[in-house]
Structure 1
């Protein structure tokens, strides 16, 4: 195999911490058994786990496909930033995709369409919209008793993983995508870029040292989408689906404490970037197939577009209010 063919494709970096059951589902959703239209030779999955009291079990790690690699780290800081950069440094593919939260399952066309997007042009940044499992944002649902038991029942009701697109049937938009598919998003929990762009941007900025990384993922998404000479491709028909696991901003702590943390995240962003966070100003290229299960989200997104005060056709990008997912 030539060096060029060996490097062609995408390496997906998945960061895991203290979420073995959720990470198992996420990693299964990245296997070639679940992903459609690809083989193991098309892509790699680099799993980086920060050690906790609940690591992925050894028998599961040993069962991972041959295009997966697993790396256990001891991390002194409560953040995925260093693990993400560590994983990207291990990538030997032409493109790197980051799933900074290992609790996000994906739909079956994600890998195929990431590869398709990068084949269209070498200067494309490809992102996937975000959703939460459940009928409402998990930050709110947890206050009404939503948890891992209720989520397991939801997944059982759609017979996942036999039909991966049925995840849309039991989900809602994440906070970062709450404005709908046709307005600006604040982040993506599956964003793929040329490895050269990742290196040029310096990966995730390790100055974001708050719990969970603060706004580091939003920051990278904005810097990548706005990189000069690059265009943004949105895989409208695919999604990442956040599983409940008591995360920093998705229901793991009491509301006031969570709001205080988010305030600290926003303050740190202003200190590092000199202004408050705003979503990237891009006009995405929509790519991929539209599953029937997505239609209710397309309808609600169209209604949100109709209600906007921005006139379509003026050339001004539609913007959404920044949200934490």
Structure 2
């Protein structure tokens, strides 16, 4: 039986984080889906510490662990390879393997695509912890603190409780209500992904620079419908990543901040400065009580009351 959706997850030195991410994208954690509905490809992109063999052995047959040949510091080629290898008509490229999903992300994303097969369905990115992780690490936030935080909500018993222990990511301060500059687990038809040209491998900075923001911008600024799932999202686990373990505003040895290096490369690749897409999405999904704190903070942020 062909799966309904293929989830492509890039892994790089995430032996702690990947197992949670994989679990969060599989039924029964993903609600209203059967085990055969979801295919996962974990794209091992050159980790010095890959996911342990005993963990991989416990995964169901619907999860494939793929060693990327000639891995690149950027995840772009690994994502494109994973999409090429996938078997479902709908794909979910997860550029950062440390991002756990909420339980209805696939169900509501698939529902939106049934309404509009040409649509791009975005999902909002959050950070585990009470503030964005580049700030939180300055006050001692680390993997041990995060493990205790997840234990405090008995994850994965009720995945929506992740909204009680998170904060909006830097690319989504308005949560579902505007100003998004990327999506870390979008849903779209494989044919649409291919029409977009996938992720551009010209973004070769370690971690990809603005490659995910570039893909998002090209997807939402086209002629096709653009949805954003309300009440769903991804939740970033701390792992020492390029942009979440420290501020991208820090000045580096060449006198530029990390973000300036990213935007300089974007301008070199695209021939114009990067800017946040102005197009607003069609909101789709279900708001839940666990989201109330996030929603209130987002409304205050976009109204200037924060």
TM-score (norm 2): 0.93
Question: What is the aligned counterpart of 1:289 among 269, 286, 289?
Answer: 286
Q: Describe the SS at the equivalent of 1:175.
A: coil
C-alpha displacement at 1:193, in angstroms?
Answer: 1.3
Alpha-carbon RMSD: 1.8
How far 1:123 moved relative to its partner? 1.2
Spell out, residue by residue over 1:17-55, the C-alpha distance to the aligned partner (whole angstroms, 9 max, x if none): 101111111111111121110012222111111132210
Q: Once the 2 structures are TM-superposed, how far is the Cα of residue 74 of structure 1 from its aligned partner?
A: 4.2
**1:167 counterpart (158, 162, 171):** 162
1:131-280 correspondence runs (5 A): 131-228=126-223, 230-251=224-245, 255-257=250-252, 260-280=257-277
Unaligned runs of 5+ in 2: none
- Aligned residue pairs total 302
Distance 2:265 2:303 in 1: 35
Mapped pair 1:78 → 2:73: yes
CA deviation vs aligned residue, 1:60-107 (integer Å, no higher than 9, x gap)? 112112222110124453111111111011112111111100000011
Q: How far apart are 1:273 and its partner, in Å?
A: 1.4
Query: Displacement, 1:165?
Result: 0.6
Once structures 1 and 2 are overlaid, which stretch shifts more, 287-296 or 129-138? Answer: 287-296
- Flag as ranges the 4+ runs of structure 1 deviating above 6 A: none
TM-score by length of 1: 0.88
Contact 1:48–1:73 under 8 Å retained in 2: yes
How far residue 189 of structure 1 moved from its aligned partner, in angstroms, is 0.4
Distance 2:225 2:12 in 1: 32
Are the counterparts in 1 of residues 135 and 247 from structure 2 also a CA contact under 8 Å?
no
The reply to whether residue 113 of structure 1 matches residue 108 of structure 2 is yes
Match of 2:95 among 83, 94, 100: 100
Q: Answer whether contact 2:124 2:175 (CA < 8 A) is retained.
A: no
